[in-house]
Amino acid sequence: MFDEGFSRSFARLMLTTALKAERSAPSPPAPAALEPTALAATHAAALACRRWVGRGRAHDADAAATEAMRAALAQAPGRGTVVVGEGAKDRAPMLYDNEVLGRGGGAFDIAVDPLECTKLCAKGLPGALATIAFAQPGSMARLACSYYMDKIVARAPAGDAIDLALTPEENLRRAAHALDRPVAALRVVVLDKPRHRALIDRLHEAGACVISPPDGDVAGALRALLPDGDADLLIGTGGTPEGVMTACAARALGGWMQARLAPQREDEAAALARAGLDTERIYELDDLVGGESLFAATGVSGGALLRAPWRRDGELCTDSIVIAAGAVRRVVQANPEEGLSR
């Protein structure tokens, strides 16, 4: 139909256009450069839900944290896509999967739980956190239709020795060998959930010390990942968004993690099947987050990891942790108290 000369010019034109588009696409901000955005988002969420601590209103606390985080992320110097957000499994307020936030520019991925441990917040118990993680665009696992996953988390050298496919007893044995300690000296975090009863019994039987908070496997994983953490391993089934955020912390710290999708309800299992996701597959850390990442959290209801917001000289202060580029930073942020809801 067209002569050869025309086809060649057309192909050249298409190539030039594609190259120009590539050149003009804004480059993604490095996750570590997004630290101020992450800290602003978790700080705002923690302050917004502070008035709901101990009020028995989990939904209101979640909604306040979510709205504050959404407003803070709208100011991000880039275009963040929510890859996995908490909320769908409990029909709670959420930042929606595929929601795009920010002032435009280079793209980045977001995993988020504006209020991790909603129930602890509602009950006024320690452990609730505002949490977020960022990673290079396209690098976070697309697992939004999954609510739960089996997780195993550790820092080196135990991490290099263990495997989710092995029994808990074998993992304890290998971790103990790697750490040159007896199994009795190992500390393992497992959430205190009915589904973990048999696992906890087996770990006790094997001689390990089991730490069982009622909720909070992000904080539990940090106990096993941070260089000064007081645990050696986290094992068990918990939320998928929490898992992806944990992977971002693990990757940024040079830690170790594996996960496997573990649907807890029929609708979840059906959604995984529809999406063609394999519940046998073991996701390595690189599968969960394949690029540079950052994790940040701010304390909401207090606890060993992060303080609840507090007043100081007419200012409201928050306590945050940010993990990026192999480093852990503790950050106190202050806001003039005037105008803030109590």
List all residues 6 or more positions away from 75 whose beta carbon is below 8 Å from its beta carbon: 37, 40, 102, 103
Closer to ligand FBP by CB, 39 or 189: give it. 189
* CB of 236 vs ligand FBP, minimal distance in Å: 9
Interacting positions 166-225 with ligand FBP (CB under 6 A):
191, 193, 215-218
CA nearest to 177, candidates 201, 163, 157, 204: 157
Query: Taking CA 332 as the corner, what is the angle to CA 136 and CA 326, rounded to the nearest 5 degrees?
Result: 35
CA-to-CA distance for 284 and 288, rounded, in angstroms?
A: 7
Question: Is residue 34 within 8 Å of 78, Cβ to Cβ?
Answer: yes
Question: In Å, what is the CA distance from 135 to each residue of 71, 79, 126, 167?
Answer: 20, 12, 28, 32
**For the window 274-313, what string marks contact with ligand FBP as x by the rule CB under 6 A?**
----------------------------------------
Measured from the CB of residue 88, what is the shortest distance to ligand FBP in angstroms?
11
CB of 259 to ligand FBP, least distance (A): 11
For ligand FBP, the binding residue among 238, 290, 303, 309 (CB under 6 A) is 238
Give me the amino acid identity at 276: G
Residues forming a β-bridge with 85: 112
Report d(CA 28, CA 290) in Å as an integer.
Answer: 15
**Among residues 90 and 315, whose Cβ is nearest to ligand FBP?**
90
Footprint of ligand FBP on 101-140 (CB under 6 A): 113, 116-119
Of residues 183 and 247, the one with the C-beta less far from ligand FBP: 247
Quote the CA–CA distance of 218 and 241 in Å, as a whole number: 10
Q: Which is nearer to ligand FBP, 104 or 214 (CB)?
A: 214
Question: Which of 111/117 has CB closer to ligand FBP?
Answer: 117
Residue number closest to ligand FBP, CB atom: 238
Place of tokens 């997004």: 34
> Could you tell me which stretch among 37-45, 177-185, 234-242, 272-280 binds ligand FBP (CB under 6 A)?
234-242
Whole-number Å distance between alpha carbons of 318 and 66: 17
Question: Nearer to ligand FBP by C-beta: 86 or 109?
Answer: 86
Residue pair 130/298 in contact (Cβ under 8 Å)? The answer is yes
Residues 53-92, one symbol each (x = binds ligand FBP by CB under 6 A, - = not), give ---------------------------------x---x--
Binding site for ligand FBP (CB under 6 A): 86, 90, 113, 116-119, 191, 193, 215-218, 238-239, 242
